[in-house]
Amino acid sequence: MQLSFKKQRRAARPPATLAELKQDEHGILDRIDLPADVAQRLMELGFLPGAQVTRALSAPGGDPRVFRVDGSEIALRRETAAKLLLRMKTHHNGTSPK
């Protein structure tokens, strides 16, 4: 006798930071959690709250990663990308998903 069980699938959690984006995936930048001077430089490069950022290629080994923002391609180290937080998607009633 053979039994089979269906695996329960968890709902995929959307990426919370740029570091979590997969290649060709994009998100909307919410905020930058870095010192003011570093945040200012990133904003000068186009990483502004509300901007759409798309993950492009990465170097062998995965670091640094290239991101497309405001018509430019910019390489960031994974540790820096982890400090750029993405806006969580909201339902049409204005609440965040649980």
Structural domain boundaries, residue 52: 18-85
- In DSSP notation, 1-22 reads -----PPPPPPPPPP-BGGGPP
Is residue 11 one of the residues assigned to a domain?
no
Is residue 35 one of the residues assigned to a domain?
yes
CATH number assigned to the domain comprising residue 23: 2.30.30.90
User: Using one digit for the tens of pLDDT, what is the confidence trace for 59-85?
Assistant: 888 899 999 999 999 999 999 999 999
User: Using one digit for the tens of pLDDT, what is the confidence trace for 16-58?
Assistant: 999 999 999 999 999 999 999 999 999 999 999 999 999 999 8
Is residue 53 one of the residues assigned to a domain?
yes
| Overall number of domains in the chain | 1
Is residue 96 one of the residues assigned to a domain?
no
Look at residue 96 in the predicted model and tell me its pLDDT. Answer: 47
Is residue 66 one of the residues assigned to a domain?
yes
Is residue 38 one of the residues assigned to a domain?
yes
Is residue 32 one of the residues assigned to a domain?
yes
The half-sphere exposure of 63 on its side-chain side, counting CA atoms within 13 A, is 8
pLDDT band (50, 70, 90) for residue 98 = very low
Is residue 90 one of the residues assigned to a domain?
no
